């Protein structure tokens, strides 16, 4: 089968099927063999692995994965791409194609059926508009995951790995760093895609922790605190938490907790580390 990482091969497939890009699905197909090799190397795909690929497009990266992995499960929401995938992946007997929205797919079941419940690896070139819900969905549903290696918008990749006190630091940074060790492995310019996106991209690898780096009694409670403290970034932490009706916290209680932690009453959420949020959650 022709390597779709080569631009003219991708164009030939798109013309053969008269394919129209759908804006609503955020479709940008990768056309750069070096970047594809880099993703494979970063994800460390071997014959032992079962890989879940989200949004395979016309199967460009899927071909690379199928060559290296034991089994590849692809989930594609656009039904117009399914016949194309059946064609471009026809040479591989280790690929399962699912036409569905990844947010509605039971990934635990895929791991059970295709990998005896052992941790799977996720590899994807994610549409920008849905990056955060997909990543959070994978982590929060406690799917058995070894790593997630994804192409995302550059600023989203930056947000996933920054620390307190920076403008990009927020709920996503804390959530990712609670579940995984983030590491940007490549920056990818717009000309590596068809059609060209308006922004730069980056490949980031999230290696799942065996156990989270902080001890927290109730993680959903901690994430509710984190979300509330970043909902109104310019406000103090005290105001952010007491303004969130779902937390039911009084000002006195929050101030008391901050005092225990030796933090000033004017502190903002963006100044707290993951450890401090865990401690605050445990105290409250």
Give the DSSP letter of residue 180: E
Give the pLDDT confidence score for residue 23 in this predicted structure. 74
Stretch (H or E) spanning 283: helix 274-283
Give the pLDDT confidence score for residue 140 in this predicted structure. 87
Alpha-carbon distance 277 to 214, whole Å?
A: 9
- Provide the angle, in degrees to the nearest 10, between the axes of the packed helices 219-231 and 274-283: 110
Give the pLDDT confidence score for residue 142 in this predicted structure. 86
CATH topology of domain 7-208: Rossmann fold (3.40.50)
Sign of the alpha-carbon torsion through 157, 108, 82, 13: positive
Give the pLDDT confidence score for residue 141 in this predicted structure. 87
Q: Which residues of the chain carry a pLDDT beneath 70?
A: none
Pair 209, 224: CB distance under 8 Å: no
Give the pLDDT confidence score for residue 21 in this predicted structure. 81
- Give pLDDT tens digits for 231-277: 888 899 999 999 999 999 999 999 999 999 999 999 999 999 999 99
Give the pLDDT confidence score for residue 242 in this predicted structure. 95
For residue 93, the tally of other CB atoms under 10 A from its CB is 8
Alpha-carbon distance 174 to 241, whole Å?
A: 17
> Where are the chain's structural domains?
7-208, 219-283
Pair 167, 203: CB distance under 8 Å: no
Give the pLDDT confidence score for residue 272 in this predicted structure. 97
The residues pairing with 15 across neighbouring beta strands, listed in sequence order, are none
Q: What is the phi-psi region of residue 89: left when phi exceeds 0, alpha when psi lies from -120 to 50, beta otherwise?
A: alpha
For residue 187, the tally of other CB atoms under 10 A from its CB is 12
Which CATH superfamily does the domain covering 219-283 fall into? rRNA adenine dimethylase, C-terminal domain (1.10.8.100)
Phi, psi of 258 (to 5 degrees): -65, -40
Give the pLDDT confidence score for residue 71 in this predicted structure. 98
Q: Is 255 exposed, middle or buried (CB count within 10 Å of its CB: 0-12, 13-18, 19+)?
A: middle
For residue 262, the tally of other CB atoms under 10 A from its CB is 6
Give the DSSP letter of residue 44: T
Give the pLDDT confidence score for residue 234 in this predicted structure. 85
């Amino acid at each position: 089968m022709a390597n779709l990482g080569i631009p003219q091969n991708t164009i030939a497939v798109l013309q053969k099927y008269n394919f129209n890009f759908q804006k609503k699905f955020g479709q940008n197909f990768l056309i750069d063999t070096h970047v594809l090799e880099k993703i494979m190397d970063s994800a460390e795909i071997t014959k032992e692995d079962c890989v879940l690929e989200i949004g395979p497009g016309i199967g460009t990266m899927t071909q690379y994965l199928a060559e290296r992995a034991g089994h590849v499960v692809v989930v594609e929401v656009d039904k117009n791409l399914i016949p194309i995938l059946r064609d471009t992946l026809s040479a591989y007997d280790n690929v399962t194609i699912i036409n569905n929205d990844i947010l509605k797919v039971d990934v635990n079941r895929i791991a059970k059926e295709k990998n005896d419940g052992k941790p799977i690896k996720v590899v994807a070139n994610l549409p920008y508009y849905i990056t955060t819900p997909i990543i959070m969905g994978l982590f929060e549903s406690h799917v058995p995951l070894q790593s997630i290696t994804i192409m995302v918008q550059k600023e989203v990749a930056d947000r996933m790995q920054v620390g307190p006190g920076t403008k990009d630091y927020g709920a996503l940074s804390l959530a990712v760093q609670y579940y995984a060790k983030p590491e940007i492995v490549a920056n990818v310019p717009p000309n590596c895609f068809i059609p060209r996106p308006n922004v730069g991209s980056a490949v980031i690898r999230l290696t799942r922790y065996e156990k989270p780096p902080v001890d927290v009694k109730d993680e959903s409670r901690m994430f509710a605190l984190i979300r509330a403290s970043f909902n109104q970034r310019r406000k103090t932490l005290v105001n952010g938490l007491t303004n969130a009706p779902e937390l039911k916290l009084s000002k006195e209680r929050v101030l008391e907790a901050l005092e225990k932690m030796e933090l000033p009453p004017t502190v903002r959420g963006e100044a707290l580390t993951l450890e401090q949020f865990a401690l605050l959650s445990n105290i409250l």
